[in-house]
Amino acid sequence: MARVVDIDEAVRLLRGGAVVALPTETVYGLAADAESPEAVARIFEAKGRPSSHPLIVHLPSVDALDDGWVASIPPVAQRLADLLWPGPLTLIFERGPRVPDAVTGGLETVGIRVPSHPAMRSVLERFGGGLAAPSANRFGAVSPTTAAHVLADLGHRIEAIVDGGDCEVGIESTIVDVSTGVARILRPGAVTREELEAIVGGPVPLAGEDAPRAPGALASHYAPRARIHAVSADEAPQQARELVESHGRVAVLAPPSMILEGDGITRIEVPDDPRERARGLYASLRAVDAGAFDHAVVVLPDESGLGAAIADRLRKAAGPRGEA
Ligand code: TXA
Ligand code: MG
């Protein structure tokens, strides 16, 4: 079982090429030295993720970008980085010479993020280099927002974890491709489209299906064992009744204000406030499995602001299985 370690021990292990789970403000990450292909390979092995899926490199500061991690910094990228880092934003750049193929899956671009979680920042500052880190869950499964989540998923596959408490944001970073000099969103996340557009001073479109390696291109992702049915508030009660008829019992992830009744229906309460909902989103999906439900109806939020990212994750959790 993984040991819970302090920051000094985490840095020592990372320098030795180990994989260590670390807290970030979004979700826990599974980190290794980004410049060591052998260490990076251990991430893919622990996660069970195909090695063609690129990883995000985490850096201690905006200034570190210049140290060979990216080929160039377009003005729009500099602006976003200056205003939103440290924070839950990943920027895709043309890769620099320090980035091995093992990190990018052979792509000519690299994703970079400067996280804000104090424990993660301490590790990065003391480590000195970049840390490649995907979310610390098995490939395709629900992302972890507590140390207990990580230990449940990967405890037997990794050596160590830093326990930084519950993740403040609870949903992954927004990924914005700036490699062409024009910003577009590859994955909605904790930084909203509205915030990005206010900073850029114009539209920041969501990349279409044609985007190279768009995260979540897989139909199913962020998924618990139970089947998830993501529906509007109007549809939820009817959908729940139908599932009870065919399966006997069903969980419904709904705000307290929604009227739900009937035998076999168990409400798992989710908050109305989007920030709170994001923070508890993955824990609520895990609660479905903990309750041994085979099916759960999940009410989609209003899709403005943070709601866009929450809805994106819920649709992927509800996506057809098979790939993951
Ligand atoms: O909040 C987060 O972003 C968390 C924390 C740990 O930082 N990390 C995270 O990593 O969500 P991961 O690997 O679970 O998701 C990152 C996504 C992947 O789906 C990958 O396809 C995409 O980022 N990605 C990474 N590099 C890319 C690149 N060069 N071009 C396009 N997509 C990229
Ligand atoms: Mg992930």
Mean pLDDT by 10 residues, the chain (324 residues): 97 98 98 98 96 96 97 98 98 98 96 98 98 96 97 97 98 98 97 98 84 56 94 95 95 93 93 97 97 97 96 95 56
The predicted pLDDT at position 204 comes to: 97
Ligand nearest to the CA of 138: 2
Contacts of 234 by beta carbon, 8 Å cutoff, 6+ apart: none
Q: Is 29 in the pocket of ligand 1 (CB under 6 A)?
A: yes
CB 228 within 8 A of CB 296: yes
Is the alpha carbon torsion for 147, 126, 61, 187 positive or negative? negative
Ligand nearest to the CA of 141: 2
Q: Give the chain's radius of gyration (CA, Å).
A: 20
The predicted pLDDT at position 208 comes to: 77
For ligand 1, what atom is nearest to the CA of residue 137? 14
Angle between helices 7-15 and 118-127 (to 10 degrees): 40
- If you measure from the C-alpha of residue 241 to the centroid of ligand 2, how many angstroms do you get, rounded to a whole number? 32
Nearest alpha carbon to residue 112 among 67, 146, 51: 67
Give the separation between CA 150 and CA 172, rounded to whole angstroms.
Answer: 15
Residue 199 Cα distances to 99, 188, 193, 202, 312, angstroms: 28, 16, 10, 8, 23
Contacts of 95 by beta carbon, 8 Å cutoff, 6+ apart: 69, 70, 71, 104, 107, 108, 109, 110
The predicted pLDDT at position 261 comes to: 85
Residue 300 CA to chain centroid, in angstroms? Answer: 18
Angle between helices 75-84 and 193-200 (to 10 degrees): 120
Q: Is 110 in the pocket of ligand 1 (CB under 6 A)?
A: yes
For ligand 1, what atom is nearest to the CA of residue 58? 7
Q: Is 172 in the pocket of ligand 1 (CB under 6 A)?
A: yes
Give the separation between CA 123 and CA 34, rounded to whole angstroms.
Answer: 14
Half-sphere exposure (CA, 13 Å, Cβ side) for 293? 29
- If you measure from the C-alpha of residue 65 to the centroid of ligand 1, how many angstroms do you get, rounded to a whole number? 17
For ligand 1, what atom is nearest to the CA of residue 53? 21
Q: Is 27 in the pocket of ligand 1 (CB under 6 A)?
A: yes
The predicted pLDDT at position 217 comes to: 53
- The residue count of the chain comes to 324
CB 225 within 8 A of CB 262: no
Q: Is 249 in the pocket of ligand 1 (CB under 6 A)?
A: no
Nearest alpha carbon to residue 180 among 272, 108, 267: 108
Residue 166 CA to chain centroid, in angstroms? Answer: 14
The predicted pLDDT at position 218 comes to: 62
- If you measure from the C-alpha of residue 134 to the centroid of ligand 2, how many angstroms do you get, rounded to a whole number? 6
Q: Is 306 in the pocket of ligand 1 (CB under 6 A)?
A: no
Q: Is 174 in the pocket of ligand 1 (CB under 6 A)?
A: no
* Closest C-alpha to ligand 1, atom 17: 215
CB 238 within 8 A of CB 220: no
Give the separation between CA 33 and CA 51, rounded to whole angstroms.
Answer: 16
Best probe residue, ligand 1, of 24, 135, 167 (max atoms within 8 Å of C-beta): 135
The predicted pLDDT at position 41 comes to: 97
Best probe residue, ligand 1, of 137, 172, 184, 221 (max atoms within 8 Å of C-beta): 172
Best probe residue, ligand 1, of 121, 171, 173, 175 (max atoms within 8 Å of C-beta): 175
Q: Is 54 in the pocket of ligand 1 (CB under 6 A)?
A: yes
Q: How far from each other are the two terminal CA atoms of the chain, in whole angstroms?
A: 25
Per-residue exposure over 238-250, b if at least 16 CB sit within 10 Å of its own CB, e if not: ebbbebbeeeeeb
Residue with tokens 């979540």: 216
pLDDT tens, residue by residue, 11-62: 999 999 999 999 999 999 999 999 999 999 999 999 999 999 999 999 999 9
